[in-house]
């Protein structure tokens, strides 16, 4: 009995949780569609005029079968050529006016779709920019690229078709049925049977294909991710001769996408033959009943032709409606994916205080700080405590994966500490506003990244237009990059290609350092940013950094112990824990991990002393 009671409670709890989850997803979908439709509000006039002109075109199309019946029953039957010509001229006029209405509707629909999706794309880009590193890591770069490009294009195409056909097709279908009743009630009953059967086919296929299209877009994400990975890592792939394996991976993902598209395509392809079959059966029924009625004298021959024309119009419109539904199914799936991104909220909240560098002499204080990445199995940092004084140079060293980058990423709040607290200049880091914090804490990341433009535009990335040429050249001199720029035609206005492809790895690193120095930060973080520099340039850079203003606190992350010998403090990390903190000389005496690092990089008995390095 206890076991039965347990299963009953578990079952009821599971059902309740499922219901709550279903309601939550339904609410999210409604909010998503409401948000997406909000982009159309700014284009209300175009969104109204497009279907209005399409309705006018449909109205003129509905008059054509009546004119055809009139020509047959009155003009041809009486042999009145003049009457036939007048009705034909009227039919041509209706066609021309309908064409003009169609062109006008297409113009307004295209403008509303393009401009509203421009706003959607801009809002999506702004949302991605507002998300933190953690949210971007969770979403994945390839997924965000697909949603910014392919998904928005699908929504745009679906919106264009929706504005043109969502009123026209139903209007033609039901208008044809109503006009059929004015011609023949018995013949119109065939329409009453055929239209629900056609609707059942169309909407049944739509409900079946909608989740499949969403799955196909997910496979497209994976293919985009593999493509991006291979393009960015093409040198590594070639260096290790992995072309065949990467080709196999890409082919596998491509085949999965192909099979998904073919599967949903096969189901969608059933729509046309099924609708054609039903329409043709309905036309056969009309011809049979109409022939009997004409033979009995109860119906004119032109009326039968009009009924067949109306049924043919329904066929054409249902084919259009089927294509519209397929496109709208894709657009709805893509809109849901876009809505997922728009619904994401940044986990970080910022205060209103501005980071001016004034206040406590302790520039950075870590107190029992820990960091666990989302979805990670364990902590990346644990119980980190240290104090960095204003103007000090802090070295960070440790083995690969020891948490060096994770530690310095907490200073500009790329990630939030999951344990402990961080204070900058005496105030909790969460109290600072985002703009002043990122302006006051400049970071040169491990991978140097330049943007297309000029050297000047790249250097002014952090400082903005307030950095004049003198400040830019001073930053270049400190970063040992002045000769690079002087050697280029145009100097500061020399072009920079996307990603800095027209510069070597070491040149990109030095220009990245100069970009951060131009912002004149209170805290400067160099995250292994001199790894591509030779020893002489690295030494010159270190000497130049010592001449920075006294209030600038510098964090140097490096794999080279020789780059950190002059540091006021060296933090030694091992598997996410701080195992040593002190000067070079102190660590040689007290930290076994640091001694092992130095022993692996210097010849036996040649480990330099800290004082000798400082004098040098």
Query: What confidence tens digit (pLDDT) does each residue in 49-66 have?
Result: 998 998 888 888 888 888
Q: Distances from the Cα of 548 to the Cαs of 392, 474, 522, in angstroms?
A: 11, 11, 11
pLDDT band per the 50, 70, 90 thresholds, residue 4 = very low
- Residue 29 has a pLDDT of 56
Q: Does the pLDDT at position 304 exceed 70?
A: yes
- Residue 572 has a pLDDT of 93
- Residue 274 has a pLDDT of 85
Buried b (16+ CB within 10 A) or exposed e, 296-329: eeebbbbbbbbbbbbbebbbebbbbbbbbbbbbb
Can you tell me the mean pLDDT for 25-46? Answer: 68
Query: What confidence tens digit (pLDDT) does each residue in 540-573 have?
Result: 888 888 888 878 899 999 888 888 888 899 999 9
- Residue 81 has a pLDDT of 83
pLDDT band per the 50, 70, 90 thresholds, residue 7 = very low
Helix (H, G, I), strand (E, B) or coil at 573: strand
Q: How far apart are CA 562 and CA 386, in angstroms?
A: 22
Query: What confidence tens digit (pLDDT) does each residue in 374-405 have?
Result: 777 788 899 999 999 988 999 999 888 888 98
pLDDT > 90 in the chain, percent: 12
Query: What confidence tens digit (pLDDT) does each residue in 177-224 have?
Result: 888 888 878 877 888 888 888 878 877 887 787 778 778 877 887 888
610 vs 488 pLDDT, higher one: 488
Q: Which residues pair with 496 in a beta bridge?
A: 453
Q: How far apart are CA 577 and CA 381, in angstroms?
A: 6
Q: Does the pLDDT at position 612 exceed 50?
A: no
Query: What confidence tens digit (pLDDT) does each residue in 331-373 have?
Result: 877 887 888 888 888 888 888 888 887 777 888 999 999 998 8
Q: Does the pLDDT at position 100 exceed 80?
A: yes
Q: Distances from the Cα of 359 to the Cαs of 3, 347, 486, 600, in angstroms?
A: 64, 28, 40, 41
- Residue 609 has a pLDDT of 60
- Residue 83 has a pLDDT of 82
pLDDT band per the 50, 70, 90 thresholds, residue 421 = very high
Q: Does the pLDDT at position 15 exceed 60?
A: no
Q: Which residue has the tokens 């939550």?
A: 24
- Residue 502 has a pLDDT of 86
Query: What confidence tens digit (pLDDT) does each residue in 144-171 have?
Result: 888 888 888 888 888 888 888 888 888 8
Q: In the structure encoding, which two tokens stand for residue 390, read together?
A: 């204003």
Can you tell me the mean pLDDT for 256-273? Answer: 85
pLDDT band per the 50, 70, 90 thresholds, residue 10 = very low
Q: Does the pLDDT at position 107 exceed 90?
A: yes
Q: Which of 58, 74, 572, 533 is nearest to 320 (CA)?
A: 58
pLDDT band per the 50, 70, 90 thresholds, residue 18 = low
What integer best gives the mean pLDDT of the chain? 82
- Residue 216 has a pLDDT of 84
Q: Does the pLDDT at position 534 exceed 90?
A: no
pLDDT > 70 in the chain, percent: 91
Contacts of 174 (CB under 8 A, 6+ apart): 195
- Residue 608 has a pLDDT of 65
Q: Which of 356, 363, 430, 355 is nearest to 393 (CA)?
A: 363
């Amino acid at each position: 009995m206890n076991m039965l009671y347990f299963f009953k409670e578990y079952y009821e709890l599971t059902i309740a949780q499922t219901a709550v989850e279903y309601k939550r997803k339904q609410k999210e979908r409604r909010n998503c569609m409401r948000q997406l439709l909000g982009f159309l509000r700014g284009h209300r006039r175009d969104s109204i005029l497009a279907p209005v002109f399409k309705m006018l075109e449909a109205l003129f199309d509905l008059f054509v079968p009546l004119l055809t019946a009139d020509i047959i029953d009155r003009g041809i039957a009486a042999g009145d050529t003049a009457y036939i010509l007048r009705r034909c001229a009227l039919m041509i006029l209706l066609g021309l006016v309908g064409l003009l209405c169609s062109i006008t509707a297409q113009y307004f629909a295209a403008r509303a779709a393009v401009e509203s999706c421009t706003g959607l794309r801009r809002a999506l880009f702004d949302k991605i920019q507002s998300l933190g590193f953690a949210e971007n890591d969770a979403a994945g770069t390839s997924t965000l690229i697909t949603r910014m490009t392919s998904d928005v294009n699908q929504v745009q195409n679906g919106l264009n078709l929706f504005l043109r056909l969502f009123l026209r097709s139903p209007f033609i279908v039901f208008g044809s049925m109503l006009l059929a009743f004015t011609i023949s009630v018995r013949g119109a009953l065939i329409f009453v049977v055929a239209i629900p059967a056609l609707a059942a086919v169309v909407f049944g296929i739509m409900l079946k294909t909608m989740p499949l299209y969403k799955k196909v877009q997910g496979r497209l994400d994976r293919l985009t991710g593999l493509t991006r990975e291979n393009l960015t890592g093409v040198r590594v792939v070639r260096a290790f001769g992995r072309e065949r394996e990467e080709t196999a991976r890409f082919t596998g993902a491509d085949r999965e996408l192909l099979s998904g598209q073919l599967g949903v395509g096969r189901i969608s392809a059933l729509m046309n033959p099924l609708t054609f079959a039903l329409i043709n059966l309905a036309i056969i029924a009309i011809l049979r009943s109409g022939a009997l009625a004409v033979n009995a004298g109860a119906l004119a021959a032109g009326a039968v032709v009009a009924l067949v024309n109306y049924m043919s119009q329904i066929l054409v419109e249902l084919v259009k409606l089927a294509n519209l539904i397929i496109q709208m199914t894709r657009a709805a799936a893509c809109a849901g994916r876009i809505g997922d991104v728009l619904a994401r909220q940044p986990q970080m909240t910022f205060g209103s205080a501005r980071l001016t560098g004034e206040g406590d002499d302790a520039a950075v204080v870590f107190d029992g700080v820990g960091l666990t990445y989302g979805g990670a199995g364990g902590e990346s940092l644990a119980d980190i405590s240290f104090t960095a004084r204003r103007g000090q140079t802090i070295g960070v060293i440790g083995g690969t994966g020891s948490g060096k980058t994770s530690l310095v990423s907490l200073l500009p709040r790329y990630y939030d500490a999951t344990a402990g607290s961080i204070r900058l200049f005496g105030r909790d880091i969460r109290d600072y506003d985002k703009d002043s914090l990122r302006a006051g804490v400049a970071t040169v990341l491990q991978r140097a990244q330049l943007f297309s433009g000029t050297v000047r535009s790249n250097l002014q990335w952090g400082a903005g237009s307030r950095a004049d040429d003198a400040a830019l050249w001073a930053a270049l001199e400190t970063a040992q990059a002045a000769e690079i720029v002087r050697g280029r035609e145009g100097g500061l206005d020399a072009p920079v290609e996307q990603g800095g492809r027209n510069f070597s790895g070491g040149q990109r690193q030095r220009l990245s350092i100069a970009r951060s120095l131009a912002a004149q930060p209170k805290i400067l973080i160099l995250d292994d940013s001199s790894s591509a520099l030779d020893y002489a340039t690295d030494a010159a850079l270190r000497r130049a950094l010592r001449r920075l203003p006294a209030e600038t606190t510098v964090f140097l992350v490096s794999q080279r112990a020789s780059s950190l010998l002059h540091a006021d403090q060296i933090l030694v990390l091992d598997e996410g824990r701080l195992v040593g903190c002190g000067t070079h000389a102190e660590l040689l005496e007290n930290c076994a991990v640091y001694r092992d690092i130095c022993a692996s990089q210097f010849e036996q008995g040649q480990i330099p002393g800290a004082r000798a390095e400082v004098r040098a």
